[in-house]
Amino acid sequence: MTDQRQVISAATTVVVKVGSSSLTLPGGGIDVRRVDELVDVLSEVVADGKRVVLVSSGAIATGFPAMGMTHRPRTVAGKQAAASVGQGILLAHYTSRFASHGLRVGQVLLTVNDLVRPTSYRNAWSTLDTLLELGVVPIVNENDTVATGEIKFGDNDRLAALVAELVRAQALVLLSDVDALYTAHPDSPDARRLDVVEDIDALEIDTHKAGSGVGTGGMTTKLEAARMATSAGVPVVLASASDARGVLGGAAVGTYFRPMATRRSRRLLWLADAATPQGQIVIDEGAVEALTTRHSSLLAVGVTRVHGDFQAGDPVTILAPDGRLVGRGIAQFSHDEVRVMRGRSSAWLAAEMGPAASREIIHRDAMVLSRRRTTKK
């Protein structure tokens, strides 16, 4: 095994995400054989003393045939109804198969709201940590039965990356119906397989082609999940579900994504990946330069416009004059205060409004700058 793959096999806490296409039949409905094979592998890992969190898709794909539907529903209500049926079927099978190995499972259904607020974020961490300490295998899924467009993760790949951050996992394994990351769709004659990705932002690949008909994700969402996890210092492997045993055992299968050397604090991870901005602060080009090249804090003098209704301590989006995203940060003042302070020097603010007003609008330690997106769509 390479040192990189030894990191995966040596991880004491592992988050494993499996997609709908790896759990269900082509036309929908649970694929018992494939689910059982996955559970058997994960049970072996738990028997070795590891903590495993399973992020499982497949509720909608499992549920719609059970409701007499011939195709995956397209309406929100139809999807939520299918998910409510499918979640029960999936959990029942997971419970039974894990029980055959002497293991218990616990279902954890999450929405974005559970991870965007500090209090519920801590509660989610506490629940998952307690389950793991008790030897229970948490089975996590987005709560499709209630989630709407405003409160959806978008795909379980992103949810898996957030869960990996949440539980401080040492590895994230993304299991799919493809065996690795390719420079183009695997069907393309010029597609080249990538064994290791050192820097996701340096990739030049084509991810536009859609995946299977039963899932919602694609390679774009998997790369976004890998970007999130590696930013948190978590190594990632993307591989076929049929290679699960090899991945978790340290075999050189799939694509390995090297983690960043510096791991962000939990607060900055929340800000970058989970928090919902409550407003926007537009800054001038001088401030953009100061933030991006000198890693400075944002001062009032560089602020030109303020949008939204936010309070001190809320996350906000930082925008350049032309509207491009600069980053996110935790505001130290409310929207009303920033509107009064914008364009003013620290000296003027201290003299006219008191010493407290001369503080940074956003401190550099409470700021995450945008990273360049290089995948093509």
Residue ranges for the known binding site for ATP are 17, 176-177, 216-222
Give the alpha-carbon dihedral of 156, 161, 164, 168, to 10 degrees: -160
Helix axes 118-133, 156-166, angle to 10 degrees: 80
Classify 103 as helix, strand or coil.
coil
Beta strands of the chain (E only): which ranges? 13-18, 51-56, 105-110, 137-142, 171-176, 181-182, 193-194, 196-197, 236-240, 255-257, 279-283, 303-308, 315-319, 325-330, 367-369
Residue type, 306: V
Which residues are annotated binding-site positions for substrate?
Answer: 57, 144, 156
Classify 366 as helix, strand or coil.
helix
Report CA Rg, the chain. Answer: 22
Q: Measure the CA–CA gap between 143 and 76, rounded to whole angstroms.
A: 13
C-alpha angle 264-266-268 in degrees, rounded to nearest 5: 60
Helix axes 59-66, 76-99, angle to 10 degrees: 100
Which residues are annotated binding-site positions?
Answer: 17, 57, 144, 156, 176-177, 216-222
- Which residues, 6+ apart, have CB-to-CB distance to 296 below 8 Å? 290, 364
